A = this chain, B = another copy of it.
Amino acid sequence: MKILLSLLCCVGVFTLSAQSRYFKESASWLQKSEACKPVLTYTEHKPVKRVTSIKDASAYQGWRMRDEGSTDLLFNESLKKHPSVIVDFGEHLTGYLDFSLKLLSQQVSDAPVRIKFTFAEVPSELNTPFDPYPGGLSRAWLQDEVMTLMTVPIEASIPRRVSFRYLKIELLGASSFDFAFDKLTFRAQTSAKTAPLPLASTTDPLIRKINEVGLLTLKECMQTVYEDGPKRDRRLWIGDLYLEALANAWSYKNHDLTKRCLYLLAALANDEGLLHATVLETPTPHPQNGTHCLDYSLLYNVALLEYLKETGDKEVALDLWPVVVRQIEMALRQYSDDWIYDMQKKPIYWLVFDWKDNYDRQASMQGLTAFSLEKSYELAKMLGKEKEARDWPRIAGQIKKAARKTFYDQKNGVIVSGPNRQVSYLSQVWMILSETLTAKEGAKAMATVLSMPDACYPGCPYAYHYVMEALLKCGMRQEARSLLTSYWGGMVNKGADTFWEVYDPNNDELSPYGFFPINSYCHAWSCTPVYFINKYPEIFQR
A-to-B contact residues, CB < 8 Å: 1-16, 100, 106-114, 133, 137-142, 145-146, 148-151, 153-161, 172-175, 232-233, 235, 278, 280, 282-284, 286-289
Shortest Cβ distance from A148 into chain B, in angstroms?
Answer: 5
16 additional A-B residue pairs with CB within 8 Å, beyond A5-B12, A12-B155 = A3-B11, A3-B283, A5-B11, A6-B9, A7-B8, A9-B155, A9-B156, A13-B153, A107-B289, A111-B137, A112-B138, A138-B173, A140-B149, A150-B160, A150-B282, A151-B283
CB distance A284 to B1 under 8 Å?
A: yes
CB distance A10 to B1 under 8 Å?
A: no
Residue ID in chain B nearest A103 by CB atoms? B16
Shortest Cβ distance from A283 into chain B, in angstroms?
Answer: 5
Measured CA separation A225–B113 after assembly (Å): 22
A288 surroundings in chain B (CB, below 8 A) = 108, 110
A106 surroundings in chain B (CB, below 8 A) = 16, 289
Residue ID in chain B nearest A289 by CB atoms? B108
Shortest Cβ distance from A123 into chain B, in angstroms?
Answer: 22
Residue ID in chain B nearest A150 by CB atoms? B160
A6 surroundings in chain B (CB, below 8 A) = 6, 9
Listed A/B pairs (25) with beta-carbon separation below 8 Å: A1-B283, A2-B11, A2-B12, A2-B13, A3-B11, A4-B11, A5-B9, A6-B9, A7-B9, A7-B10, A7-B160, A8-B157, A10-B149, A13-B153, A106-B289, A108-B280, A111-B138, A111-B140, A112-B160, A113-B140, A114-B138, A139-B172, A140-B173, A150-B160, A150-B282
Measured CA separation A3–B14 after assembly (Å): 9
Of A107, A148, A284, most B-chain CB atoms within 10 Å: A148
CB distance B1 to A151 under 8 Å?
A: no
CB distance B173 to A139 under 8 Å?
A: yes
Measured CA separation A113–B3 after assembly (Å): 31
Q: How many copies does the complex hold?
A: 2
CB distance A10 to B233 under 8 Å?
A: no
A100 surroundings in chain B (CB, below 8 A) = 13
Shortest Cβ distance from A18 into chain B, in angstroms?
Answer: 8
A286 surroundings in chain B (CB, below 8 A) = 108
Measured CA separation A132–B100 after assembly (Å): 27
Measured CA separation A111–B172 after assembly (Å): 27
Shortest Cβ distance from A173 into chain B, in angstroms?
Answer: 3
Shortest Cβ distance from A442 into chain B, in angstroms?
Answer: 38
Of A7, A15, A109, A172, most B-chain CB atoms within 10 Å: A7
Q: A1-B283, A1-B284, A174-B138 are in contact. Are A157 and B9 (CB under 8 A)?
A: yes
Measured CA separation A149–B14 after assembly (Å): 15
Shortest Cβ distance from A334 into chain B, in angstroms?
Answer: 24
Of A113, A142, A173, most B-chain CB atoms within 10 Å: A173
Shortest Cβ distance from A105 into chain B, in angstroms?
Answer: 10
A108 surroundings in chain B (CB, below 8 A) = 16, 280, 286-289
Q: A113-B138, A289-B108 are in contact. Are A12 and B172 (CB under 8 A)?
A: no
Measured CA separation A455–B315 after assembly (Å): 94
CB distance B153 to A283 under 8 Å?
A: yes
Shortest Cβ distance from A32 into chain B, in angstroms?
Answer: 19
CB distance A8 to B156 under 8 Å?
A: yes
Q: A112-B138, A137-B111, A172-B139 are in contact. Are A283 and B154 (CB under 8 A)?
A: yes
Measured CA separation A173–B282 after assembly (Å): 19
Measured CA separation A139–B111 after assembly (Å): 9
A142 surroundings in chain B (CB, below 8 A) = 173
Measured CA separation A448–B12 after assembly (Å): 67
Q: Which 10 residue pairs are nearest across A and B when measured between Cβ atoms?
A: A139-B173, A7-B159, A140-B173, A114-B140, A8-B8, A112-B140, A111-B138, A11-B155, A138-B175, A8-B159
Shortest Cβ distance from A264 into chain B, in angstroms?
Answer: 15
CB distance A12 to B283 under 8 Å?
A: no
A287 surroundings in chain B (CB, below 8 A) = 108
Of A6, A9, A232, A286, most B-chain CB atoms within 10 Å: A9
Q: A155-B12, A288-B110 are in contact. Are A175 and B7 (CB under 8 A)?
A: no
